[in-house]
C-alpha cells in the first residue's frame, strides 16, 4: 500500500526525491512511530478529493502524545507534501507555540508557509529560475565562489546542505548545532561559520574536508553571524553585538559610538542596544570593510528596529538609528555605499532612506540583492497577500500576483487574484508554470522599477548574487531558487513602444480613431503574445478594437476606437492587456485614452507615461517641469516646441518641486528622506540633501511631501508613511538649507504653537517670495491656514478651520496679496475676501458646480477648474471677483480618487483606469477626492497648463476671432418645400448668421465637415451639401427618431458652437422639388422619353411616363446610409403608400423610391392618364404615409 502511494504521488523525480531522502535518513527512519505516520499518509485518497489538514489540530494531537511541536509539524508537513492536501491555519495554532521545547516561531511559520505554497493559485505564464526542493527550512544561504557551491542553513534538520551550481543538484550535507540560522565565510573561503541558535553555539566547518570543526558556546543565542576582511567573527543575538575570538574562544561586546546629536526638536536614541528577539540580521559588504546589521531592542509588535554600521578596521559601531517595522532582510551594494533593509534603501554614511519599493509594514518576507555593477537592485517582497508588500510593476496588468484585486474589473482569461488570468487557449498549467511572485529589477539610486520577472515561488528571506553576476540564489518556499539573471538577453521579455495611447475625436468627426504600438521582444528567443481589452463590466462591450488578438513579436498592434456610440464628453480609459506564455516578465499593459470632445472644448492633450503630480513653470527657459511620481523623474516640456525633452532622473516618488533660484530646482521625494537638487542648465540632478543627521525624528520615519520657497527660507511638510488608503498621521514643518546641505524641523509654528500639522497639507508660496501659505486638515477636512513671514522668520497668522471640505486646492498670488484655498479668497493677512463663484455660462447647458478641481493665480487673475461633464475653466479678476471667460476642457484634470480607479464607472461617467488603484491608495484616501495642489499652472499670458487623465493639457484663453454661429427653429426648413415639415432622410436648409464659410461638397459621399463647420443632430454630425455665412444645406440621417431633434452648428475653425435648436421630425414630409422657370415655380418633372423638363412649351401628354423628383417620402427598403448615393442595384423602394395629384386629379404611381446616384432625393414614376386635367399651371401635390405636401404655393406643371 505504501509503495502504491509512492508510485501514485511521486510522479516526477523532484516529487519523489524528498520522500526517498526521508526514508534513507537514519535520524528519521529509525524514529519510533515513523512507519505508522507514513502508513497514514499512504492511506490518503486522491489529492483533489482529500479534505484539508487543520494544522493546529494535527500538531496538537501529536504533541499530546508526547512529541514536540517540531516533530508534529514535520509529520503534518510530510502528510501534506505526499498527499498534496491543503493546510488550514487557525487560532488554535498558538496553543502549540506555548508548549515547552517548541522550536522558534520563525521556523514554524516558515515551514507552514512552505506547505501553503504548494496550494496557492497563481498566474499561468513563463517563469524564470529553477526551484531546488530542500527537505526542511532554509534559514540562510551563502555562495562559495572558490568551489561554485551554495551552502544552505537547514534550520529544521540541523545541518548545512550543499548545492553544486555546476551539477545543479544537492551534493551533500554537514551536521551542525541545533537550529542553524545564519552563515558566514572566512575571507580565505576555507571556513564556514554557522550560528546555531538552538544550541547557543558558533560551529565551524572546514570547507576543504567538509568536516565540522570547533563549536564555540557563546552563552547566548546567536541569531546572526558575519565575518569582515579581518577574519574576526561578529555575532548578533540575545547577548547583543559581540565579537568572537576563535583563537581563545572568548566573546567580547562591540563598542558603540555615541549617536550624533540630533537637531532641536528631535529625540535622541540610546547609545547601546541588546537584541532580545529572534529576528536579527547581519550582512558584510563585498570588500569586507563594513558589516551592516539590524536588531530589535524590545520584543513585541510595533517595537523599533535598530539599524547599525559596524566598521571592521576599528571594531566599533560607527552609526545607528531606530526605524519601526523594518524586516530582518538585508543586502549591501558592492561598494558598501548603500544597503537594503526590507523594502527600504538606505545610505550607509547617513542611514537616511534613499527609496522604498513597497510598504515597510507589510514586507514580512522576501529578499533583495545588488547587481555586481551596483546599478540595479533585485528585490521581491510579500506578506502572503496579493498586494501592498511591494509596489507592483506594470500595475495595470491584472496577470500580476503583486496587484490588488480591483472591484468590478473583468480579467481576460477568467482568472482571479492573485496572479490574474490564464493565457487564452492555454491548457491548465502545472505548478512549475504558475507565477507566485515577482522579482523586480530596480534602479539602485532610487528603487524606481525597471523590469519585473515572474517567479514560480515566493522568496522567503534572502537573495545573494554570484560575483560574476550570472546567477541569483534565493531561499524560497520549497528551499532554494536559482535565477540565471545574467541570461536575460537569451530569454523572451515582452516590451512595448508606448504604454499610453491617446485617441481623439470630436463631434464633427466620429470616424474610427487608430494608433499603433510596437510589440517587441527585448530579450531572446521566440515570443508569442495575445492581446485583449480589460473591461470594467463583464456585460459591456468596450469600443476598443484590436487589429490582432495574437501574434509573434516583433509585431505592430493597431488599436482602434469607434466613437459612434460615445455620448460622454471627456476621456474614457481602457486597458489593453498583453500576455505571453514565453515571456518571463510582467508584461506592460497599454493605457488607451479615448478623448471625445466638442469643437468648443479648448486644449491640446499631450500624453505622458507615468503619473504627473506636480508642475513648476520656468519662464526664462520656456519650460514646464512635471514631477513624475511613478517613474522617479522630472519631465521637461518645451513651451516653444510643445514637445517633451529628455527627462531628469531624481529620487524615489517625487511629489512636489520648487525653483529656489533661476538655476536650481529642488524636488521633494516622498519615497525617501531626501531632496534632489537639479541644475537646470545642466538638466541633471547634481546633489541630494538628506533630512538631517540620524536619528531622524522618532522611530517612525517621516517623508517629505510639499515644498515651497520664500525669500528667507525653504519650508516643506513631512508626514509618516500611511497605510494604503488612509490619511497620514500628523506631520511637521521642516526647513531646508542649500548652503549647509541640511534639513531640520522648525522649533514651533509661531508663539505657543507646537510643530504639528494635519496629515492632508499643502504649501504654496508667492512668486516674489513674500510669504508661504500652509493649509492643513485632518479627518474632518476643515483646513487651518498659517502664513509664514520671511522677514520675521515666524508664523504670525493662524486661522483655525478657515476652509471646510479641504481637498488640496491652494494657490498664491504673485506678490502675496492674495491666496486662494478651494473657492475661498484671502488677502495678504489671510482675511476673507470672498469666493470664486461657480457658473453655468457655457453655450451648451452645464449645471454650475461648487467643487473646484484646481486653481492658479497670476497677475491678479485667478483660473479655476469647475467640476462637471465636461469640466470647465473659469478666469476671474480678483479685484472684482467677476468672471470674464469660461471655456470647456477637452478632458478631466488629474485628481486622486481611489474609488474611481479601475472600478465600474458611475452612470453617465467615463471609465477610469489611471492612476492605478494601488497608486491612488498610496497617495490618496479611501472614499475621498484629493486635488493635486499644483495641477494647474497659469502663466498670466492666457496660457494654462493642466495635469489631466492622459498627461498634460495645454489651454489658451485668448479670445477667438469671429462670432458664434446663430439660427432659430424657424430657420430650419425642408429644402424642397421651404416649409418646416421635415422627416428622417430629408434634405434641410438652415438659415441664419455667421454659419460657415462658403463651400460645396466635392462629391459623394457627402462630407460631415464643410466650410469649417459641422452640423450635429442630437450630437451626431450629418452630411453637408453646401455652406455659406447665411445658409447650410444638409441631409438629416434616415435613422433619426420621429420625435424631436436638436440641431447645432459647430465651427471647428473658430472653436465656437451655436445654441442647440430643437425641431420636430415626422415620419414623412413629402414635397416636390421645383425650379424657377421664367419666374414661375415649376415642379421638377421630366419626360421619361428624353428627360427634358416639363414646361408649358413642352407639356406632358396622355399615356407618357413622367419622372417626378421629390423629398421626404419616408423610409425605404433597402436603406441607404446618410450622405451616400442611392443604388440602382438594388433599387431602394419607399415603404409608405405614395399618391400624386396634378391639377387635383390623381396620377397612377408606377414606382417610387430613392433616385439612383442621388443623395436624399426621391423619384416617382408617373403615368399620364386619359382623364387628366389639362392646363399650363396645374399644382403638384404629393401624399406619403398620410401626410400631404402643401397645396398653397405648390409647384406647378403643364399637362395637355
Give tens-digit pLDDT for 494-516.
999 999 999 999 999 989 999 99
Contact between 439 and 483 (Cβ < 8 Å): yes
Segment 967-979, tens digit of pLDDT: 999 999 999 888 9
The mean per-residue pLDDT over the stretch 59-86 comes to 44
Lowest mean pLDDT among 478-487, 713-722, 907-916: 907-916
| Maximum distance among all Cα pairs of the chain, rounded to whole angstroms | 138
Question: What sign has the CA pseudo-torsion 1091, 1096, 1098, 1099?
Answer: positive
Statement: residue 70 has pLDDT above 70: no
Q: What is the pLDDT of residue 838?
A: 81
Instruction: Count the Cβ atoms, other than its own, within 10 Å of residue 28.
Output: 17
Nearest-angstrom CA–CA distance, 560 and 516: 9
The mean per-residue pLDDT over the stretch 728-756 comes to 94
Beta-strand pair 714-720/742-745:
unpaired
In the CATH scheme, what is the code of domain 966-1064?
A: 2.60.40
Backbone φ/ψ region at 17: left (φ over 0), alpha (ψ -120 to 50), beta? alpha
Tell me the DSSP string of 15-41: HHHHHHHHHH-HHHHTSTTHHHHHHHH
The mean per-residue pLDDT over the stretch 712-726 comes to 92
Q: What is the pLDDT of residue 849?
A: 60
The mean per-residue pLDDT over the stretch 401-409 comes to 61
DSSP class of residue 1125 equals P
Q: Which residues contact residue 1017 at a Cβ distance below 8 angstroms, ignoring those fewer than 6 apart?
A: 1036, 1037, 1040, 1045, 1046, 1047
Q: Is 906 exposed, middle or buried (0-12, 13-18, 19+ CB in 10 A)?
A: exposed
The mean per-residue pLDDT over the stretch 74-100 comes to 39
Q: What is the pLDDT of residue 474?
A: 98
Contact between 220 and 200 (Cβ < 8 Å): yes
Contact between 198 and 206 (Cβ < 8 Å): no
Contact between 751 and 920 (Cβ < 8 Å): no
Contact between 150 and 480 (Cβ < 8 Å): yes
Which residues are 930's β-sheet partners? 896
Nearest-angstrom CA–CA distance, 179 and 138: 10
Nearest-angstrom CA–CA distance, 1127 and 1113: 17
Radius of gyration of the chain from Cα atoms? 39
Statement: residue 421 has pLDDT above 80: no
Q: Which three cell numbers stand for residue 175?
A: 551536521
Lowest mean pLDDT among 10-19, 185-194, 590-599, 1009-1018: 10-19
Segment 599-629, tens digit of pLDDT: 999 999 999 999 999 999 999 999 999 999 9
What letters, b where the CB count within 10 A reaches 16 and e where it falls short, cover 446-484? Answer: bbbbebbbbbbbbbbbbbbbbeeeebbbbbbbbbbbbbe
Contact between 672 and 654 (Cβ < 8 Å): no
Q: What is the pLDDT of residue 93?
A: 37
pLDDT tier for residue 266 given thresholds of 50, 70 and 90: low
Q: Which residues contact residue 941 at a Cβ distance below 8 angstroms, ignoring those fewer than 6 apart?
A: none
Highest mean pLDDT among 276-280, 396-400, 416-420, 996-1000: 996-1000
- What is the residue-averaged pLDDT of the chain? 85
Q: What is the pLDDT of residue 121?
A: 34
Segment 563-599, tens digit of pLDDT: 887 778 899 999 999 999 999 999 999 999 999 999 9
The mean per-residue pLDDT over the stretch 711-717 comes to 97
Q: What is the pLDDT of residue 976?
A: 87
Nearest-angstrom CA–CA distance, 1135 and 1138: 9
The two domains 494-599 and 966-1064 share their CATH topology (first three levels equal)? yes
DSSP class of residue 271 equals S
Q: What is the pLDDT of residue 699?
A: 67
Statement: residue 1092 has pLDDT above 80: yes
Q: Which residues contact residue 504 at a Cβ distance below 8 angstroms, ignoring those fewer than 6 apart?
A: 513, 594, 595, 596, 597, 605, 890
Which of 693, 683, 650, 686 is CA-nearest to residue 669? 650
Q: Which three cell numbers stand for residue 211?
A: 568536516
Tell me the DSSP string of 75-89: HHHHHHHHHT--EE-
1063 alpha-carbon distance from chain centroid: 45
Could you give phi then psi for residue 338, rounded to 5 degrees? -140, 155
Nearest-angstrom CA–CA distance, 140 and 437: 19
* 3-state secondary structure string across 1154-1169: ECECCCCCEEEEEECC
Q: What is the pLDDT of residue 315?
A: 93
Q: What is the pLDDT of residue 960?
A: 80
Backbone φ/ψ region at 332: left (φ over 0), alpha (ψ -120 to 50), beta? beta
Q: Which three cell numbers stand for residue 726?
A: 488612509
pLDDT tier for residue 434 given thresholds of 50, 70 and 90: confident
Could you give phi then psi for residue 34, rounded to 5 degrees? -65, -45
Peptide bond into 683 cis (omega under 30): no
Percent of the chain residues past pLDDT 70, beyond the cut: 81
Q: What is the pLDDT of residue 293?
A: 94
Beta-strand pair 316-324/832-835:
unpaired
Q: What is the pLDDT of residue 57?
A: 47
Q: Which three cell numbers stand for residue 916?
A: 492605478
Lowest mean pLDDT among 121-130, 214-223, 414-423: 414-423
Could you give phi then psi for residue 627, rounded to 5 degrees? -75, 115
If DSSP codes are grouped into helix, strand and coil, which group holds residue 261?
coil
Nearest-angstrom CA–CA distance, 1141 and 1191: 10
170 alpha-carbon distance from chain centroid: 42
Lowest mean pLDDT among 108-122, 516-530, 792-806, 1036-1050: 108-122
The mean per-residue pLDDT over the stretch 452-479 comes to 95
Contact between 132 and 161 (Cβ < 8 Å): no
Task: Report in angstroms the alpha-carbon separations of 1075 from 1025, 1078, 1084, 1184, 1197.
Answer: 18, 10, 6, 22, 11
Segment 903-938, tens digit of pLDDT: 555 555 678 999 999 899 999 999 899 999 999 999
Question: What sign has the CA pseudo-torsion 385, 386, 388, 390?
Answer: positive
What letters, b where the CB count within 10 A reaches 16 and e where it falls short, cover 398-414? Answer: bbbbbbbbbeebbbbbe
Statement: residue 899 has pLDDT above 90: no
Extended beta strands in 984-1069, E state: 987-993, 999-1000, 1013-1017, 1020-1021, 1024-1027, 1031-1035, 1044-1051, 1056-1057, 1061-1064
Which of 272, 283, 310, 581 is CA-nearest to residue 429? 581
Percent of the chain residues past pLDDT 90, beyond the cut: 70
pLDDT tier for residue 989 given thresholds of 50, 70 and 90: very high
Beta-strand pair 53-54/87-88:
parallel
Q: What is the pLDDT of residue 215?
A: 96
pLDDT tier for residue 1061 given thresholds of 50, 70 and 90: very high
The mean per-residue pLDDT over the stretch 696-705 comes to 75
Contact between 818 and 898 (Cβ < 8 Å): no
Statement: residue 1149 has pLDDT above 50: yes
Nearest-angstrom CA–CA distance, 440 and 656: 26
Question: What sign has the CA pseudo-torsion 1093, 1094, 1096, 1101?
Answer: positive
Which of 1165, 1196, 1173, 1191 is CA-nearest to residue 1096? 1196
DSSP class of residue 391 equals P
Q: Which three cell numbers stand for residue 273?
A: 542596544
Contact between 564 and 108 (Cβ < 8 Å): no
Q: Where are the domains of the chain?
A: 2-102, 494-599, 608-956, 966-1064, 1071-1199
Domain 608-956 in this protein, CATH class: mainly beta
Nearest-angstrom CA–CA distance, 788 and 773: 6
Q: What is the pLDDT of residue 1191?
A: 87
Lowest mean pLDDT among 376-390, 647-661, 760-774: 376-390
What's the length of the chain? 1200
The mean per-residue pLDDT over the stretch 1102-1111 comes to 96
DSSP class of residue 487 equals G
Contact between 1152 and 1125 (Cβ < 8 Å): no
Statement: residue 76 has pLDDT above 60: no
Q: What is the pLDDT of residue 324?
A: 76
Is domain 494-599 in CATH 2.60.40.10, yes or no? Answer: yes
Statement: residue 279 has pLDDT above 50: yes
Amino acid at each position: 500500500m505504501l509503495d502504491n502511494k509512492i508510485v501514485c504521488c511521486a510522479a516526477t523525480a523532484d516529487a519523489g526525491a524528498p520522500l526517498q531522502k526521508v526514508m534513507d535518513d537514519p535520524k528519521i527512519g529509525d524514529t519510533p512511530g515513523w512507519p505508522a505516520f507514513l502508513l497514514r499518509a499512504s492511506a490518503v485518497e486522491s489529492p483533489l478529493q482529500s479534505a484539508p489538514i487543520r494544522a493546529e489540530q494535527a500538531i496538537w494531537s501529536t504533541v499530546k502524545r508526547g512529541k514536540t511541536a517540531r516533530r508534529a509539524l514535520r509529520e503534518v508537513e510530510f502528510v501534506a507534501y505526499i498527499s498534496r492536501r491543503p493546510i488550514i491555519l487557525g487560532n488554535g495554532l498558538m496553543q502549540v507555540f506555548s508548549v515547552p521545547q517548541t522550536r522558534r516561531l520563525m521556523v514554524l511559520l516558515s515551514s507552514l508557509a512552505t506547505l501553503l505554497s504548494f496550494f496557492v493559485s497563481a498566474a499561468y505564464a513563463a517563469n524564470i529560475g529553477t526551484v531546488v526542493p530542500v527537505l526542511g527550512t532554509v534559514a540562510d544561504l551563502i555562495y562559495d565562489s572558490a568551489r561554485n557551491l551554495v551552502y544552505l542553513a537547514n534550520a529544521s534538520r540541523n545541518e548545512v546542505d550543499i548545492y553544486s551550481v555546476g551539477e545543479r543538484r544537492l551534493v551533500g550535507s554537514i551536521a551542525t548545532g541545533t537550529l542553524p540560522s545564519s552563515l558566514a565565510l572566512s575571507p580565505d573561503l576555507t571556513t564556514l561559520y554557522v550560528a546555531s541558535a538552538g544550541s547557543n553555539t558558533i560551529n565551524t566547518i572546514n570547507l576543504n574536508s567538509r568536516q565540522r570543526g570547533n563549536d564555540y558556546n557563546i552563552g547566548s543565542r546567536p541569531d546572526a553571524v558575519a565575518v569582515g576582511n579581518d577574519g574576526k567573527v561578529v555575532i548578533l543575538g540575545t547577548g547583543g553585538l559581540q565579537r568572537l575570538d576563535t583563537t581563545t574562544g572568548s566573546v567580547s561586546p562591540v563598542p558603540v559610538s555615541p549617536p550624533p546629536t540630533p537637531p532641536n526638536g528631535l529625540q535622541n536614541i540610546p547609545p547601546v542596544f541588546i537584541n532580545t528577539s529572534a529576528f536579527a540580521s547581519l550582512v558584510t559588504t563585498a570588500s569586507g570593510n563594513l558589516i551592516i546589521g539590524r536588531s530589535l531592542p524590545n520584543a513585541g509588535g510595533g517595537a523599533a528596529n535598530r539599524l547599525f554600521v559596524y566598521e571592521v578596521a576599528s571594531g566599533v559601531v560607527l552609526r545607528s538609528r531606530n526605524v519601526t517595522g523594518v524586516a530582518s532582510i538585508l543586502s549591501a551594494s558592492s561598494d558598501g555605499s548603500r544597503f537594503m533593509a526590507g523594502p527600504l534603501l538606505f545610505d550607509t554614511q547617513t542611514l537616511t532612506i534613499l527609496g522604498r519599493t513597497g510598504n515597510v509594514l507589510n514586507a514580512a518576507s522576501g529578499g533583495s540583492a545588488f547587481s555586481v555593477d551596483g546599478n540595479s537592485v533585485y528585490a521581491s517582497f510579500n506578506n502572503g497577500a496579493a498586494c501592498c508588500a511591494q509596489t507592483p510593476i506594470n500595475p495595470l496588468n491584472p496577470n500580476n500576483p503583486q496587484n490588488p484585486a480591483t472591484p468590478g474589473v473583468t480579467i481576460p482569461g477568467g482568472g482571479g487574484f492573485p496572479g490574474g488570468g490564464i493565457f487564452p487557449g492555454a491548457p491548465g498549467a502545472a505548478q512549475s508554470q504558475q507565477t507566485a511572485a515577482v522579482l523586480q529589477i530596480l534602479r539602485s539610486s532610487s528603487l524606481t522599477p525597471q523590469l519585473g520577472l515572474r517567479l514560480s515561488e515566493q522568496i522567503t528571506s534572502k537573495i545573494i548574487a554570484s560575483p560574476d553576476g550570472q546567477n541569483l540564489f534565493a531561499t524560497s518556499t520549497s528551499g532554494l531558487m536559482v535565477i540565471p539573471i545574467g541570461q536575460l538577453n537569451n530569454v523572451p521579455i515582452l516590451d512595448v513602444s508606448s504604454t499610453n495611447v491617446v485617441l481623439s475625436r470630436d463631434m464633427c468627426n466620429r470616424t474610427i480613431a487608430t494608433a499603433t504600438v510596437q510589440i517587441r521582444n527585448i530579450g531572446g528567443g521566440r515570443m508569442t503574445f495575445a492581446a485583449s481589452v480589460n473591461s470594467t463590466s463583464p456585460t459591456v462591450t468596450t469600443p476598443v478594437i484590436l487589429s490582432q488578438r495574437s501574434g509573434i513579436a516583433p509585431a505592430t498592434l493597431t488599436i482602434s476606437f469607434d466613437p459612434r456610440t460615445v455620448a460622454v464628453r471627456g476621456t474614457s480609459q481602457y486597458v489593453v492587456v498583453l500576455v505571453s506564455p514565453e515571456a518571463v516578465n510582467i508584461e506592460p499593459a497599454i493605457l488607451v485614452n479615448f478623448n471625445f470632445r466638442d469643437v468648443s472644448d479648448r486644449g491640446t492633450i499631450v500624453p505622458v507615461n507615468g503619473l504627473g503630480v506636480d508642475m513648476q513653470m520656468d519662464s526664462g527657459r520656456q519650460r514646464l517641469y512635471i514631477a513624475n511620481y511613478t517613474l522617479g523623474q522630472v519631465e521637461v516640456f518645451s513651451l516653444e516646441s510643445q514637445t517633451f525633452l529628455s527627462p531628469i532622473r531624481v529620487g524615489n516618488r517625487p511629489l512636489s518641486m520648487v525653483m529656489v533660484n533661476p538655476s536650481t530646482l529642488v524636488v521633494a521625494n516622498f519615497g525617501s528622506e531626501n531632496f534632489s537638487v537639479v541644475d537646470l542648465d545642466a538638466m541633471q540632478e547634481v546633489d541630494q540633501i538628506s533630512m538631517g543627521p540620524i536619528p531622524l525624528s522618532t522611530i517612525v520615519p517621516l517623508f517629505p511631501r510639499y515644498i515651497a520657497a520664500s525669500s528667507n527660507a525653504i519650508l516643506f511638510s513631512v508626514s509618516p508613511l500611511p497605510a494604503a488608503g488612509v490619511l497620514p498621521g500628523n506631520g511637521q514643518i521642516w526647513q531646508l538649507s542649500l548652503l549647509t546641505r541640511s534639513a531640520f524641523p522648525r522649533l514651533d509654528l509661531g508663539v505657543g504653537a507646537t510643530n504639528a500639522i494635519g496629515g492632508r497639507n499643502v504649501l504654496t508660496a508667492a512668486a516674489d517670495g513674500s510669504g508661504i501659505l500652509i493649509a492643513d486638515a485632518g479627518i474632518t477636512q476643515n483646513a487651518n491656514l498659517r502664513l509664514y513671514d520671511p522677514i520675521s522668520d515666524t508664523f504670525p497668522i493662524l486661522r483655525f478651520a478657515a476652509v471646510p471640505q479641504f481637498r488640496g486646492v491652494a494657490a498664491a498670488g504673485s506678490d502675496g496679496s492674495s491666496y486662494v484655498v478651494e473657492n475661498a479668497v484671502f488677502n495678504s493677512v489671510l482675511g476673507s475676501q470672498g469666493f470664486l463663484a461657480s457658473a453655468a455660462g457655457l453655450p451648451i447647458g452645464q449645471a454650475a458646480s461648487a467643487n473646484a478641481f484646481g486653481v492658479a493665480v497670476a497677475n491678479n487673475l485667478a483660473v479655476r477648474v469647475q467640476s462637471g461633464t465636461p469640466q470647465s475653466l473659469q478666469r476671474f479678476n480678483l479685484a472684482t471677483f467677476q468672471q470674464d471667460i469660461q471655456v470647456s476642457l477637452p478632458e478631466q484634470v488629474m485628481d486622486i480618487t481611489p474609488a474611481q480607479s479601475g472600478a465600474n464607472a458611475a452612470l453617465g461617467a467615463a471609465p477610469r483606469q489611471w492612476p492605478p488603484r494601488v497608486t491612488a491608495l498610496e497617495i490618496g484616501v479611501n472614499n475621498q477626492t484629493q486635488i493635486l495642489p499644483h495641477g494647474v499652472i497659469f502663466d498670466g499670458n492666457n496660457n494654462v497648463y493642466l495635469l489631466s487623465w492622459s498627461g498634460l493639457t495645454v489651454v489658451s484663453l485668448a479670445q477667438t476671432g469671429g462670432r458664434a454661429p446663430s439660427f432659430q427653429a424657424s430657420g430650419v426648413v425642408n429644402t424642397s418645400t421651404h416649409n418646416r415639415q421635415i422627416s428622417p432622410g430629408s434634405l434641410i436648409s438652415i438659415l441664419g448668421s455667421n454659419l460657415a464659410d462658403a463651400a460645396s461638397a466635392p462629391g459623394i459621399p457627402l462630407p460631415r465637415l464643410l466650410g469649417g463647420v459641422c452640423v450635429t443632430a442630437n450630437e451626431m454630425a450629418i452630411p453637408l451639401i453646401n455652406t455659406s455665412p447665411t445658409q447650410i444645406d444638409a441631409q438629416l440621417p434616415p435613422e433619426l427618431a420621429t420625435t424631436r431633434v436638436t440641431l447645432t452648428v459647430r465651427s471647428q475653425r473658430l472653436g465656437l458652437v451655436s445654441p442647440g435648436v430643437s425641431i420636430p421630425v415626422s415620419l414623412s414630409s413629402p414635397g416636390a422639388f421645383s425650379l424657377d422657370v421664367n419666374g414661375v415655380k415649376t415642379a421638377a418633372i421630366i419626360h421619361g422619353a428624353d428627360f427634358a423638363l416639363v414646361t408649358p412649351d413642352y407639356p406632358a401628354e396622355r399615356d407618357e411616363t413622367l419622372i417626378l423628383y421629390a423629398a421626404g417620402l419616408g423610409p425605404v427598403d433597402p436603406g441607404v446610409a446618410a450622405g451616400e448615393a442611392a443604388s440602382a442595384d438594388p433599387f431602394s423602394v419607399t415603404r409608405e403608400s405614395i399618391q400624386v395629384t396634378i391639377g387635383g386629379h390623381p396620377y397612377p404611381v408606377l414606382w417610387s423610391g430613392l433616385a439612383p446616384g442621388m443623395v436624399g432625393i426621391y423619384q416617382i414614376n408617373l403615368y399620364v392618364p386619359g382623364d387628366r386635367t389639362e392646363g399650363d399651371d396645374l399644382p403638384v401635390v404629393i401624399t406619403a404615409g398620410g401626410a400631404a405636401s402643401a397645396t398653397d404655393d405648390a409647384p406647378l406643371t403643364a399637362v395637355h
